[in-house]
Structure 1
Amino acid sequence: MPRLSEMVPPPVTKGLLRAVFGLPGPVKRLITGAPVRRDGQRLDLDAQLLLLMTRLEGGRLGAPTVEEARRGLQRGQSYLDRVPARPVRTRDVDANGVPARLYTPKGLPEGSPLLVFYHGGGWVIGDLDTHDTVCRYLAVHAEVRVLSAAYRLAPEHPYPAATDDALTAYEYAVANAGNLDADPAAIAVSGDSAGGNLAAVVGVLAERKPDFALLFYPATDMTARRRSRELFGDGFYLTDDDMTWFSGHYCPDEERRADPAASPLLAEDLTAFPATYLVTAGFDPLRDEGEAFARRLEEAGVPVALRRQDDLFHGFTNMWSLGGRFQEAMSEAAGALRTGLYAGPRQRS
């Protein structure tokens, strides 16, 4: 049976979404019911409302087929396609065989920092378009150029295809920073969820290390189940079943899941990893492994700022256009990226 959103024209659904989130707080509370509290945290009201709407619509990240899951994410993001007020120019780039898109905010001078971004989606779903508004937001609010890389997806291209493409795109950015009108001494990596995993892997494996890493709720260890997966594995957008579904498609060979290129938390040496802002969501099954990675960076002597947005759930980067706490969290991350790239040392020639 088709979902309600598949039978309603997208402009109508978008208008309804805006109207619901524009309601007064007390009305939203009447709709959502009692606050959700778990593990000493209280879910943000707008986050609770969005989860309720998602459940009513019957949506989930995983699906009976890969094609359905990909269509579902694309459809969901089409309702959240608001862009920053400042214009952003885009152009397609061939990053040594990896399709990519370069974002340049209007008025940004040549020689600005560059961010290489990897979209989330469990290494199975997602593309340049599903994370277009995320890249535009970071470009505008961090004052950077953004090179978004469309790495190959599983199951058509299982591990390590995504890792190989992530490294290829990053190495292209390093070698061609000047041609991209970017500063070769200020190149960062970023990504959300599976994209955060790829950004972390680049930080571990790249010969020329990035100058900064911005990691949104990254997947860092495919070999273990942590407490947050038990606490938040059902009812908070990304589910335990979704995680099993994604990992099974991405890396069906369970022995290879311990590779540092799949599970960067298990890398032996993290001392050369770049300075990092790592943000987790409180109601996220990936929370604990992301925070474990931050602790390992700290133990290795890497400058790292760990920020738990304890009232949000997985995927909040894509939801910034709804405003409220979603946009606040993205604004904070963009500020950290801007500070890390503009105020950090630039010693490379």
Structure 2
Amino acid sequence: MALRAVQLLERVPISVQATIARALFGLPKPVRRLLIGAPVRLDGQELASDAQLLLWLDKLTDASMVQSRDHVIARTALDAKSEIVRKRDVEPVDVRTVEVAGAEGPLQARLYTPAKAPDDGPLLVFYHGGGWVIGSLGTHDNLCRFIAANGELRVLSVDYRLAPEAPFPAAADDALAAFRWAVKHAADLGANPDAIAVGGDSAGGNLAAVTSYLASKRRGAQPAFQLLFYPGVDASVRRPSRELFAEGFFLTSREMDWFLGHYAPDEASRTDPKLSPLLASNLAGLPPAYITTAGFDPLRDEGEAYARKLGEAGVPVVLRRHADLIHGFANFIGLGTRFTEAVSEAIGALRTGLAMGSMGSPGSSATTKPAQPRKRSTPAKKQ
């Protein structure tokens, strides 16, 4: 019966699936609890009901099994599924296509300009997630609109080259080249060249971290800030969270192997700081960072280890664990309220960091305790 339900739902048009999902998230909490079952508790954490409901829907559509698909099919599937979690009440944002310089040729990008963005204001160069294999400007369009509108700043989303057609270090090289292009053409973008941040989610968070590291070790412009959503920063080892949350929490351990097998098939390359910045011998001099992790995420432990290492190197850093959330939450802002709360908090940190020019004096760092659901989001604070 369950298999038949999955097969039937997979035949439903994506637009209808999106309507069904929104209706389910609009149900009273007691009814939702009947659907999803008892609360999930693991590693001293309780999964948010919004996240549990999303995982319940994910099982019905078998959306997480990218490791069993051809990479081209996986890309198409993610493009389609992104419609289900799209937030529909984002304030209007002007969007235009821009061609930026990559490491080996031009790349497509989108410039998001909200009405309240000041002239000569800050800019976020954003790298989308997707394991360096899937994901696109389209899959992260909604998130970039939301960041631009609520952060009141411009966002430049970069469509870097994907593996396996362009394996490591192509994406990392493109990310750095795109940042440098943005600085050089800041006036054309309406941005202040001294207030350009980098950011991204998952593999995009990896690229933002790598760009910050490479820029700090080379002559030239440096990012003003780095915004890292659950970044992958060490491809060389499996930490406890990789085993604890290997299955059933959106991103799986098998999928991580699938992504790395496409992006970095040569295992020797996985210790290179251009892929694993956590392994860099010296992180001093990197820009201030806001790193947010999810409690139920295989990548949780490496992201938090990176935050600690940045702090030890004298980099101003705030670490924010949302103990009740799952990997990918930044893209789920169209469903429920909990995902939006977490992303809004990160946007507040980005605005604050850029406005202040730094998040503290050299050598300062801050971490926050695992977050619990709150009725409204507030900017992360040092404690």
Matched, 1:216 2:229: yes
Question: What does residue 51 of structure 1 align with?
Answer: 55
Equivalent residue letter for 2:163: A
Pick from 15, 40, 62 the counterpart of residue 11 of structure 1.
15
CA-to-partner distance for each residue in 1:211-252, whole Å, 9 max, x for gaps? 100000000000000000000010000000000000000000
Equivalent residues of 1:103, 1:145 under 8 A apart: yes
CA-to-partner distance for each residue in 1:241-291, whole Å, 9 max, x for gaps? 000000000000110111110101011111111100000000000000000
Pick from 131, 152, 175 the counterpart of residue 143 of structure 1.
152
Query: Where does 1:26-105 land on structure 2 (aligned, <5 Å)?
Result: 26-60=30-64, 61-96=66-101, 97-105=106-114
Q: 2: CA distance between counterparts of 1:174 and 1:268?
A: 27
Equivalent residues of 2:50, 2:336 under 8 A apart: no
CA-to-partner distance for each residue in 1:286-327, whole Å, 9 max, x for gaps? 000000100000100111000000000000000011131100
Pick from 14, 21, 43 the counterpart of residue 25 of structure 2.
21
Matched, 1:308 2:321: yes
Matched, 1:108 2:125: no
- After superposition, the CA RMSD in angstroms is 1.5
Query: Normalized against structure 1, the TM-score is what?
Result: 0.96
Equivalent residues of 2:90, 2:145 under 8 A apart: no
Matched, 1:339 2:352: yes
CA-to-partner distance for each residue in 1:130-151, whole Å, 9 max, x for gaps? 0001101111111110000000
Q: 1: CA distance between counterparts of 2:73 and 2:17?
A: 19
Equivalent residues of 2:196, 2:225 under 8 A apart: yes
Pairwise CA distance, 1:345: 5.5
SS in 2 for 1:178: helix
Q: 2: CA distance between counterparts of 1:12 and 1:64?
A: 24
Length, aligned pairs only: 346
Pick from 180, 183, 202 the counterpart of residue 193 of structure 1.
202
Query: Where does 1:317-332 land on structure 2 (aligned, <5 Å)?
Result: 317-332=330-345
Q: Is the alpha carbon distance of 1:128 and 1:232 closer, same or farther for their aligned partners in structure 2, counting shifts above 3 Å?
A: same
Equivalent residue letter for 2:14: P
**What is the identity percentage for the equivalent residue pairs of Structure 1 and Structure 2?**
57
Question: What does residue 283 of structure 1 align with?
Answer: 296
Runs of at least 5 residues in structure 1 that lack an aligned partner in the other structure: none
Q: Is the alpha carbon distance of 1:280 and 1:273 closer, same or farther for their aligned partners in structure 2, counting shifts above 3 Å?
A: same
Equivalent residue letter for 2:332: M
Q: 2: CA distance between counterparts of 1:137 and 1:232?
A: 28
Pick from 162, 165, 169 the counterpart of residue 156 of structure 1.
165
CA-to-partner distance for each residue in 1:70-103, whole Å, 9 max, x for gaps? 1221111011232444210111111111211100
Equivalent residue letter for 2:17: T
SS in 2 for 1:110: coil
SS in 2 for 1:274: coil
Question: What does residue 249 of structure 1 align with?
Answer: 262
Q: 1: CA distance between counterparts of 2:268 and 2:19?
A: 47
Equivalent residue letter for 1:134: L
Equivalent residues of 1:84, 1:137 under 8 A apart: no
Question: What does residue 312 of structure 2 align with?
Answer: 299
Question: What does residue 133 of structure 2 align with?
Answer: 124
Question: What does residue 205 of structure 1 align with?
Answer: 214
Pairwise CA distance, 1:107: 3.6
Equivalent residue letter for 1:173: A
Query: Normalized against structure 2, the TM-score is what?
Result: 0.88
Equivalent residues of 2:133, 2:162 under 8 A apart: yes
Q: Is the alpha carbon distance of 1:27 and 1:338 closer, same or farther for their aligned partners in structure 2, counting shifts above 3 Å?
A: same
Q: 1: CA distance between counterparts of 2:343 and 2:276?
A: 25
Q: Is the alpha carbon distance of 1:43 and 1:127 closer, same or farther for their aligned partners in structure 2, counting shifts above 3 Å?
A: same
- Structure 1 stretches of 4+ with a deviation exceeding 4 A read 1-6
Pairwise CA distance, 1:11: 2.5
Q: Is the alpha carbon distance of 1:84 and 1:113 closer, same or farther for their aligned partners in structure 2, counting shifts above 3 Å?
A: farther
Equivalent residues of 2:39, 2:49 under 8 A apart: yes
Pairwise CA distance, 1:127: 0.3
Q: Is the alpha carbon distance of 1:170 and 1:16 closer, same or farther for their aligned partners in structure 2, counting shifts above 3 Å?
A: same
Equivalent residues of 1:209, 1:272 under 8 A apart: no
Q: 1: CA distance between counterparts of 2:190 and 2:239?
A: 43
Name which of structure 1's ranges 65-74 and 16-25 shifts more when overlaid on structure 2.
Answer: 65-74
Name which of structure 1's ranges 190-199 and 55-64 shifts more when overlaid on structure 2.
Answer: 55-64
